[in-house]
């Protein structure tokens, strides 16, 4: 259990961490939706709150205002699913096992996995508010969505006509000194590239890229972090050109919107010693090139038997390697309007090899729909050039800046009261469910906020306890003032 007794937390703040610990014990990776949705339904029943549980495992819980005077209802919103990543040594079964979380000073972390504070701390905070009888608030429509991390699917499927509120606080941001007011849109492009195989006699060598930082493909895409799938593709291209190797398989990444920090490949070689020597040189070459941002990178090499292997034939190898190494990846364009903001990007999040095809799964983002469409067409054309079967999934629109926002001004005022300084107001390159709700609910006044969470979507993810306490207190003050307007 988390031991927070020395922090002298208020009972309300204490409940946030207790609920967070409860939901951390529930497997809730994207697609694994039913158990966490059932937990929220049981919570609503236990506290006598009206709720809607739809077929997509979205949950809406309704709570009346705490005071008997008119107040506009407000949506408090977070998502139920998490990106699940684990270290190579971690044996946790994310389909059936809960996370092992622990306290380390001011931080809450997970043992060998992502923490799931994105967005579990939002769920815990909202449930703590719904549970309490002594927190002043207007009517609340608490919206918990499914499968946000794989394309905002739950938010897109939710029946927005169930909601009456015209103001919404999304709790999916990760810096407590920042108020988010706009975000990018996006979609995924999936390329299924047919491959033919041939039998080749030679030595097996297994390659593993390890130790890369990884990260969120919206938040960290401009921080110089190396994509393991792209790096492995370049290594295989050089191996093919210099040592005439044959490729058996390439597999890397687990989520399209996470910069992959690991990738494996199996190759068949004739001249084992030449290849092993070349691999030593290539590791040094790439380490020198990326050392500043990736100090822990390593290329692990394992030798296997000399026998027959089913490998990509020459035509399949050429079209696959050409696609993976020439298609763009990372930042495509920076914003001309907002200094330092990435406008358009893409991430080769997953490579999977099957018997008869290789699948490349890209996550694309842009704050401009026209640029998103152009980049989507570029990747689709690259897929067609490789004779791939192509599909576009998970589209979500950009969330555009609202010039008039009373809720934004209220949050800014409450922040200044608490900290004595102005909060930063920013647009982000990552996707937020605010975009889906703002495009569906006319005149929705929407903001996104949250406590400090670091290295989201990686096994180094950690949540600041002190930041969470301060953020939760600020949120309660905002809700209290909403009753006075």
Locate 346 and state its tokens. Answer: 């893409």
- Cα 49 to the chain's mean position, in Å? 30
Q: Is 129 helix (H, G, I), strand (E, B) or coil?
A: helix
Q: Is the dihedral of CA 41, 44, 45, 50 positive or negative?
A: negative
238-272 burial code (b ≥16 CB/10 A, e <16): bbbeebebbbbbbbbbbbbbbbbbbbbbbbbbeeb
Q: Is the dihedral of CA 116, 117, 118, 124 positive or negative?
A: positive
Locate 80 and state its tokens. Answer: 């139920």
Cα(87)–Cα(339) distance, integer angstroms = 35
Cα(112)–Cα(118) distance, integer angstroms = 16
Q: Which of the following is catalytic: 21, 57, 81, 147? A: 81
Asked if 195 and 408 touch (Cβ cutoff 8 Å), the reply is no
Cα(15)–Cα(132) distance, integer angstroms = 9
On the 0-12 / 13-18 / 19+ scale of CB atoms within 10 A, 6 is: exposed
DSSP class of residue 48 equals T
Q: Is the dihedral of CA 450, 452, 454, 458 positive or negative?
A: negative
Q: Parallel, antiparallel, or unpaired: how do β-strands 178-183 and 424-428 relate? A: parallel
* 81 is known as an active-site residue: yes
Asked if 446 and 399 touch (Cβ cutoff 8 Å), the reply is yes
* Ranges assigned E (strand) in 316-371: 330-334, 342-353, 357-366
Asked if 259 and 215 touch (Cβ cutoff 8 Å), the reply is yes
Distances, alpha carbon 222 to alpha carbons 125, 174, 336, 458, in Å? 30, 17, 15, 16
Q: Which of 347, 393, 344, 345 is nearest to 368 (CA)?
A: 344
Asked if 231 and 250 touch (Cβ cutoff 8 Å), the reply is no
Measured from the Cβ of residue 26, the count of other Cβ atoms closer than 10 Å reads: 18
Cα(152)–Cα(440) distance, integer angstroms = 14
Question: 337: Cβ–Cβ under 8 A, 6 or more apart, which residues?
Answer: none
* 22 is known as an active-site residue: no
Q: Which of the following is catalytic: 148, 174, 343, 455? A: 148
Cα(409)–Cα(425) distance, integer angstroms = 10
Residues labelled catalytic: 81, 148
């Amino acid at each position: 259990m988390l031991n927070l007794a020395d922090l002298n937390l208020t009972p309300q703040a204490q409940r946030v961490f207790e609920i967070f610990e409860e939901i951390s014990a529930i497997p809730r990776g994207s697609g694994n939706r039913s158990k966490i949705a059932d937990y929220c339904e049981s919570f609503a029943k236990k506290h006598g709150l009206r709720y809607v549980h739809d077929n997509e495992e979205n949950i809406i819980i309704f709570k009346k205002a705490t005071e008997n005077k008119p107040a506009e209802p407000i949506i408090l919103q977070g998502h139920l699913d998490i990106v699940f990543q684990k270290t190579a040594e971690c044996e946790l079964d994310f389909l059936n096992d809960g996370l092992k979380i622990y306290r380390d000073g001011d931080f809450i972390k997970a043992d060998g996995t992502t923490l799931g504070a994105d967005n579990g701390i939002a769920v815990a905070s909202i449930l703590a508010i719904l549970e309490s009888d002594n927190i002043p608030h207007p009517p609340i429509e608490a919206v918990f969505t499914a499968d946000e991390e794989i394309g905002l699917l739950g938010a897109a499927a939710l029946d927005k006509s169930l909601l009456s509120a015209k103001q919404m606080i999304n709790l999916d941001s990760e810096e407590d000194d920042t108020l988010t007011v706009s975000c990018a849109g996006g979609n995924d492009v999936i390329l299924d590239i047919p491959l033919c195989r041939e039998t080749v006699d030679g030595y097996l060598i297994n390659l593993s890229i390890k130790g890369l930082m990884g990260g969120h493909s919206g938040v960290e895409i401009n921080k110089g972090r190396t994509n393991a799938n792209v790096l492995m593709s370049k290594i295989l291209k050089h191996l093919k050109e210099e040592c005439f190797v044959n490729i058996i398989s390439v597999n890397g990444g687990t989520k399209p919107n996470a910069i992959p920090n690991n990738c494996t490949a199996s190759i068949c070689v004739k001249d084992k010693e030449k290849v092993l020597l070349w691999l030593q040189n290539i590791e040094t070459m790439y380490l020198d090139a990326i050392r500043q941002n990736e100090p822990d990178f390593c290329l692990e090499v394992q030798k296997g038997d000399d026998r027959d292997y089913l490998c990509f034939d020459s035509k399949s190898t050429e079209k696959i390697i050409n696609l993976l190494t020439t298609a763009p990846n990372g930042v495509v364009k920076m914003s001309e309007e907002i200094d330092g903001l990435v406008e358009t990007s893409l991430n080769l999040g997953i490579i999977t090899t099957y018997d008869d095809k290789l699948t490349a799964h890209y996550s694309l983002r842009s704050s401009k729909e026209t640029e998103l469409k152009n980049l989507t067409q570029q990747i689709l054309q690259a897929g067609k050039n490789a004779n791939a079967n192509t599909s576009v999934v998970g589209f979500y629109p950009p969330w555009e800046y609202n010039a008039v926002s009373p809720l934004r001004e209220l949050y800014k005022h409450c922040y200044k009261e608490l900290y004595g300084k102005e909060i930063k107001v920013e647009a982000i390159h990552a996707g937020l469910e605010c975009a889906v709700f703002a495009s569906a609910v006319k005149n929705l006044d929407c903001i996104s906020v949250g406590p400090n969470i670091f290295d989201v979507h990686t096994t180094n993810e950690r949540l600041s306890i002190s930041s969470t306490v301060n953020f939760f207190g600020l949120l309660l003050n905002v809700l209290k003032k909403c009753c006075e307007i």
